[in-house]
Structure 1
Amino acid sequence: MRRFVDYFLLYLKGIAMGSADVVPGVSGGTIAFITGIYEQLLNSIKSVDKQAFLYLRSFQLKALWEHVNGTFLLVLLAGIGTSIVTLAKVITHLLSSHPIQVWAFFFGLIVISALIILREIKQWGIGVIIAILVGIAAAYFITSSTPAETPDASWFLFIAGAVAICAMILPGISGAFILLLFGKYEYVLNAIKELKIVDILIFGLGCIVGILSFARVVSWLFNKFHNLTVGVLSGFMIGSLYKVWPWKKAVETYVDRHGEIKPLYEVNVMPNDYLSQTGLEPHFIEALGFAAGGFLLVLAMDRIAAYLNPKN
Structure 2
Amino acid sequence: MGAADVVPGVSGGTIAFITGIYDTLLESIRRVNPSIFSLWRREGFAAVWQHVNGTFLASLLTGILTAILTLAKAVSYTLENHPIVIWSFFFGLIIASAIHMIKQVEKWSVVEIILAVAGAIFAYGITVANPISMEFNMLTVFIAGSIAICAMILPGISGSFILLLLGMYAPVLDAVKSLNIPVLALFAVGCLAGILSFSHVLSWLLNKYRSFTIAFLTGLLIGALGKVWPWKEAISFRVNSSGEQVPLVEKVLSPGAFEAATGQPALLGTAIVMMIVGFALVIGLEKVSEKLAD
The bucket for the TM-score relative to the shorter chain is over 0.9
SS in 1 for 2:233: strand
- 1:40 aligns with 24
Number of residue pairs matched?
A: 294
Q: Deviations over 1:93-122 (max 9, x none)?
A: 111111001001100110111111111112
Q: Deviations over 1:62-120 (max 9, x none)?
A: 00100100111111111111101111111111111110010011001101111111111
Deviation (angstroms), 1:59:
7.3
2: distance between equivalents of 1:262 and 1:99? 12
Q: Deviations over 1:176-212 (max 9, x none)?
A: 0000000000110001111222211221111000000
Mapping of residues 281-292 of structure 1, within 5 Å: 281-292=265-276
Moved more, 19-28 or 292-301: 292-301
Within the candidate set 136, 159, 181, 2:143 is matched to: 159
2: distance between equivalents of 1:169 and 1:232? 14
- 1:3 aligns with none
Partner amino acid, structure 1, of 2:183: D
- 1:255 aligns with 239
Answer yes or no: is 1:229 the counterpart of 2:231.
no
Contact kept, 8 Å, 2:235 with 2:249, in 1: the verdict is: yes
SS in 2 for 1:276: helix
- 1:99 aligns with 83
Query: Aligned-residue CA RMSD in angstroms?
Result: 1.2
Partner amino acid, structure 2, of 1:43: E
Q: Which has the bigger relative contact order, CA under 8 A and spacing at least 6?
A: 2
Contact kept, 8 Å, 2:39 with 2:47, in 1: the verdict is: yes
SS in 2 for 1:243: helix
2: distance between equivalents of 1:291 and 1:93? 19
SS in 1 for 2:9: coil
Q: Deviations over 1:198-227 (max 9, x none)?
A: 211221111000000000000000011000
Partner amino acid, structure 1, of 2:132: A
Q: Could you tell me the percent identity over the aligned residues?
A: 48
2: distance between equivalents of 1:141 and 1:242? 10
- 1:50 aligns with 34
- 1:245 aligns with 229
Structure 1: tracts of 5 or more residues without a match: 1-16
Cα 1:281–1:87 shift into 2, 3 Å = same
2: distance between equivalents of 1:48 and 1:294? 34
2: distance between equivalents of 1:201 and 1:114? 36
2: distance between equivalents of 1:196 and 1:148? 23
2: distance between equivalents of 1:200 and 1:133? 37
Mapping of residues 74-93 of structure 1, within 5 Å: 74-93=58-77
SS in 1 for 2:285: helix
The ranges of structure 1 where at least 4 consecutive aligned residues each deviate by more than 6 angstroms after the TM superposition are none
Contact kept, 8 Å, 2:127 with 2:249, in 1: the verdict is: no
- 2:176 aligns with 192
Structure 2: tracts of 5 or more residues without a match: none
Deviation (angstroms), 1:136:
0.5
Deviation (angstroms), 1:58:
5.6
Answer yes or no: is 1:109 the counterpart of 2:93.
yes
1: distance between equivalents of 2:13 and 2:130? 23
- 2:113 aligns with 129
